[in-house]
Amino acid sequence: MHRHMQPGVPMAHLELANLLMTNLLHSGIALLWLLGLRRFAGPLAPTLWADLLRICLGLPPALLLLRVLGLPQAPLAWRTLRVGRWTELALDAGPLLLTALVALLAGTLLLFVVQELRPALLAWRDGVPRDALPDAQLQADAESMLELLRNHNLVPSRGRPPEALHLPNEQPIAGLRGIVRPQVVASTGLLTMLDREERLATLAHELAHWARGGNLRLLLVWLLRSTQAVNPAALILFRELVEAEELACDFLAARVTGRPAALASALLKAHGQPELQHNAGPLARAQAEVLRRAELSSVRARVERLLRSPPQRVPHWAITGGAVAVLVVLLWSVG
């Protein structure tokens, strides 16, 4: 026999549980759909994969908001999953399963706080270092790479192009920073270890980040992620997206420069160097080594992708649009 009211559970709490269950199911289904898509439709172009990950991360909270604002739900007979009943099932599941579910959500929240929120807050507190210097050669190289991106129709029509600055630092650093006034920075340590082709490929990679929305889009994605801090599927999607964005920018840089090996070589040079730990204790050095090994594993995957992947085209926007339409219908049917 089905129960339709939860004795002892106030209506407002039940509504909240329903909203949470909707988000958990939406994200889980989006992740499952995406993994199946990659499995059955073959490897997707890196830019498409990153775009779909971003959509899968952003669509569930957007649909939830629309639902709260009164978006009509799918007719009952057409709903693939009836969220209210799944919430009842979860609440009826008994203390053991309920505790496991709460532990899973709490663990996900803890990971978000420790590994994502805290570093973001620390970075925000520390602010952007102001010691980067103008560099005419770097700026000229960046402009030539920007021109290549423009020739491939990859540069947004609006938005201020980034300035290229030289960072006087011995660590091998390259990155895109700033939202309103974007800057591509490259450190002395990096510039001295790279040859010209590698330097151009690195600049093309960082400019590709800007062309794909830059830090403003990254901030929006992070905010969407933070609204789903307890959602394990959102955690997986976000982390996969961080990697996928790097692969997408590698792909674009290799495509516009026509030299994937130069970027692969730059990656190996930049990430193969152990970080300098002058005054660090043994624990800090051990932590740095673990992080460095994890980073090396990620870099190895990127290098393999650059060197071994067959040439791919940037997918037509209609492919992404069609995939989004399918995902919207799939998620709308869950209610």
- Angstrom distance (rounded) from CA 91 to CA 277: 50
Residue 137 touching other proteins (CB under 8 A): no
Count the site residues for other proteins by CB under 8 A.
27
- Which 68-87 residues touch other proteins, going by CB under 8 A? 76-77, 79-82, 85-86
On whether the CB atoms of residues 165 and 143 are closer than 8 A, the answer is: no
Residue 318 touching other proteins (CB under 8 A): no
Query: Least CB distance from residue 57 to other proteins, whole Å?
Result: 18
Residue 5 touching other proteins (CB under 8 A): yes
Query: Least CB distance from residue 77 to other proteins, whole Å?
Result: 7
Among 37, 229, 299, 328, binds other proteins (CB under 8 A): 37
Among 223, 280, 294, 326, binds other proteins (CB under 8 A): 326
What token pair was written down for 19?
């909203």
- Angstrom distance (rounded) from CA 299 to CA 293: 10
On whether the CB atoms of residues 211 and 149 are closer than 8 A, the answer is: yes
Query: Least CB distance from residue 225 to other proteins, whole Å?
Result: 24
Query: Least CB distance from residue 78 to other proteins, whole Å?
Result: 9
Listing DSSP states for 22-71 in one string gives HHHHHHHHHHHHHHHHHHHS-PPPHHHHHHHHHHHHHHHHHHHHHHHTTP
- Angstrom distance (rounded) from CA 170 to CA 181: 25
By C-beta, is 105 or 328 nearer to other proteins? 328
- Which 86-125 residues touch other proteins, going by CB under 8 A? 86, 89
Residue 32 touching other proteins (CB under 8 A): yes
Among 10, 11, 12, 40, binds other proteins (CB under 8 A): 40
By C-beta, is 132 or 323 nearer to other proteins? 323
Helix spans in 212-316 (H): 214-226, 232-257, 260-271, 282-308
Stretch that binds other proteins, among 34-42, 98-106, 122-130, 209-217 (CB under 8 A): 34-42
What is the per-residue burial (b if ≥16 Cβ within 10 Å, else e) of 104-135? Answer: ebeebbeebeeebbeeeeeeeeeeeeeebeeb
On whether the CB atoms of residues 334 and 22 are closer than 8 A, the answer is: yes
Query: Least CB distance from residue 40 to other proteins, whole Å?
Result: 4
By C-beta, is 188 or 333 nearer to other proteins? 333
Question: Which residues contact residue 249 at a Cβ distance below 8 angstroms, ignoring those fewer than 6 apart?
Answer: 205, 206, 208, 209, 212
Stretch that binds other proteins, among 35-43, 61-69, 182-190, 224-232 (CB under 8 A): 35-43
What token pair was written down for 73?
């739900």
Among 41, 180, 283, 290, binds other proteins (CB under 8 A): 41
* β partners of residue 177: 183
Question: Which residues contact residue 313 at a Cβ distance below 8 angstroms, ignoring those fewer than 6 apart?
Answer: 45
Among 29, 165, 186, 211, binds other proteins (CB under 8 A): 29
By C-beta, is 32 or 120 nearer to other proteins? 32
What is the per-residue burial (b if ≥16 Cβ within 10 Å, else e) of 300-327? Answer: eebbebbeebeeeebbeeeeeeebeeeb
Q: Which residues lie near other proteins (CB under 8 A)?
A: 2-5, 29, 32-33, 36-37, 39-42, 76-77, 79-82, 85-86, 89, 323, 326, 330, 333-334
